[in-house]
Amino acid sequence: MASSTVSSWVMGSTCMSVVEREHDKHSLFGISSKSKCKWASQTRTRVLPKSTSTAQTGEVMAIAAQPAMEVALKKKPLTKERRVVVTGMGVETPLGHDPHEFYENLLQGVSGISEIEAFDCSQYPTRIAGEIKSFSTDGWVAPKLSKRMDKFMLYMLTAGKKALSDGGITEDIMDELDKRRCGVLIGSALGGMKVFNDAIEALRVSYRKMNPFCVPFATTNMGSAMLAMDLGWMGPNYSISTACATSNFCILNAANHIIRGEADLMLCGGSDAAIIPIGLGGFVACRALSQRNGDPARASRPWDSNRDGFVMGEGAGVLLLEELEHAKQRGATIYAEFLGGSFTCDAYHMTEPHPEGTGVILCIEKALAQSGVSKEDVNYINAHATSTLAGDIKEHQALLHCFGQNPELRVNSTKSMIGHLLGAAGAVEAVATIQAIRTGWVHPNINLENPDEGVDTNKLVGPKKERLDIKVALSNSFGFGGHNSSILFAPYK
C-alpha cells in the first residue's frame, strides 16, 4: 500500500515537472495577462460562519459510544440555503461554437451529421459522425500547447474560457475573485485517446519516441486541472468519468460544492473527441453505430422505427454556475436557476438499459424530490434518446410513467441533430435546455418519420420548433455501466 502511494506521488510530481517546463512566464497557455480579457473571470469573497471542529470538542468520540438510533437523530445545524444559477455558457459543437449560433441551428432543424473527413474510414462500416469541421484555439490556447494537447482538452479549454467570457467575467472582475472559492469540474468519458494512441504507435519504434506529455494529456482530469492552473482557481478541481452521463455528474457535483458553501463559482461540464480510428472502431465493434452512410443527415433518428444505432459526435459544453447572491453582487446576467438532480445505477448490464426502466424512474423521482419539484411542474424534457433500439423506448416508457399525466409536456432529443457527444452530451444538452428557457422556443425532433410502437407522439416535439413557456426543465443523461443522471433547471425568479 505504501509503495503504491509513493508511486502515485512520484508520478504526479513527474507529470507536473514535465508540464511546468512548458509554462509561459506569463501564463500556462502563453497568453499574456493583457489578453486575458477574452476569458477572465470574477468572484468575491463570501464570509461564511466557521463550524466548530468535532475533533476539538470530542463530539465524535461521544457519538461513537451512543446507540445507533441516537446517532441518527443528530442533525447538522441549519444553514441558509444557497441557490445556484447559471451565468455563463460555452460550447464547441458540430453546429456552432457559441450558444446562440448553436441553438439557432437547432431551432432551424439543421443537422450537423456528415461524412468523416479527419481520417480515411472507407473500410469502416460506419463512415459518418457529428464531426467539428472547423475549430480554432486562437486567442484561447497557446500554439505550442495546441499542437501537443489532445482535442478533448482543447475543446474543454476553449469552451471553458468562452463560458467565462459569456458570463461577463472581465480581467478586473477576475482580479477581485477569491480564487480559493472558484473551482473547475469538467469531465470526459474517454479522455485523450488520440494522444495515447499516438504514444502506442511511437512505442512500436522505441520508448524514446514517445511524447513526454502522453500520460498527463491522456488522463481525463488534466483538461480541468490545466484550466484551473491557468485561471489560478484553487477551489474544488477534479473530473468525473461516468461514460455518457459524465457531464450531468459534473454539473450536479459542482452545484453541490456551491450549495455546501465550498465555492462561489464553478466551471463544469464535459468534453470528448473520440472521432478517430480507435474510437470509431471501438464503437463499431460494439455494434452500436448507425450505418446510414448514404444519408448522414437522416442517420440519427431517436424514437423512429427505422433507427439503426447512434451517431458519434464530438465537442464540449461548459456552464458557469454561481451562487445567487454572488452573481447579483457583480451584476451578472442570470440565464436560469439550477434546481438540483440525482444519480442512480441500473445495476443490470454494462450497455443495455434495465428492461423495466427502474433505475431511470428512480433517478427522476429522486431528482424531483431533491429539488422540491412536483411532476406537474415539469413541462419540458431534453431526453437522452440516442437513436438506439433499446435505449430510446425504455427511457420513453420511464418518462411516460413519471410524467404521462402532464398534458403540457414536450420532449425532444438534441442528438437527432448533433449525434451523441459521449461525455460532453449532457453539458451541451444542458446549454440547449437553458437556451429553451431563455428563448421560449424548444427545438424540433428531426428524422422522426415513423414513430416506434409505444411512443406517445403527443408528448414529442414535432419536425418544427415550438413555443413553450417552460416552468421546469429536466435533462437526462445515461451511460455505459448503468449510470443514470437527471438534472433540473427553471427560469430564475
Catalytic member of 257, 354, 420, 443: 420
**What is the spatial distance between Cα 452 and Cα 305, in angstroms, rounded to a whole number?**
4
Number of neighbouring beta carbons within 10 Å of residue 388: 23
Active-site entry in 121, 214, 244, 250? 244
- All residues at 6 or more sequence positions from 290 whose CB lies less than 8 Å from its CB, including other chains: 126, 128, 299, 300, 307, 308, 309, 310, 311, 387
Kindly report the CA angle at 391 between 385 and 397, in degrees rounded to 5?
Answer: 85
Which of 177, 315, 179, 189 is closest to 237 using CA atoms? 179
CB 356 within 8 A of CB 384: no
Q: Is 26 a catalytic residue?
A: no
Please give the Cα distance from 346 to 362 (Å, whole number): 9
DSSP code string of 117-135: -SS--TTSS--EEB-----
Task: Kindly state the cell numbers that stand for 215.
Answer: 500520460
The candidate with the shortest Cα–Cα distance to 155, out of 425, 394, 460, is 425
Nearest CA to 372 out of 259, 247, 461 is that of 259
Calculate the CA 287 to chain-centre distance.
Answer: 25
Q: Which of 257, 326, 384, 443 is catalytic?
A: 384
CA 398 – CA 362 distance, rounded (Å): 9
Annotated active-site residue 384? The verdict is: yes
326 is catalytic: no
Q: Sort strands 315-323 and 114-115 into parallel, antiparallel or unpaired.
A: unpaired
Judged by DSSP in three states, 110 sits in coil
* Residues forming a β-bridge with 343: 485
CA 122 → CA 119, 125, 292, 309, distances in Å?
9, 8, 14, 19
CB burial of 36-63 (b: ≥16 within 10 Å; e: otherwise) equals: beebbbbbeeeeeeeeeeeeeeeeeeee
Active site residues: 244, 384, 420
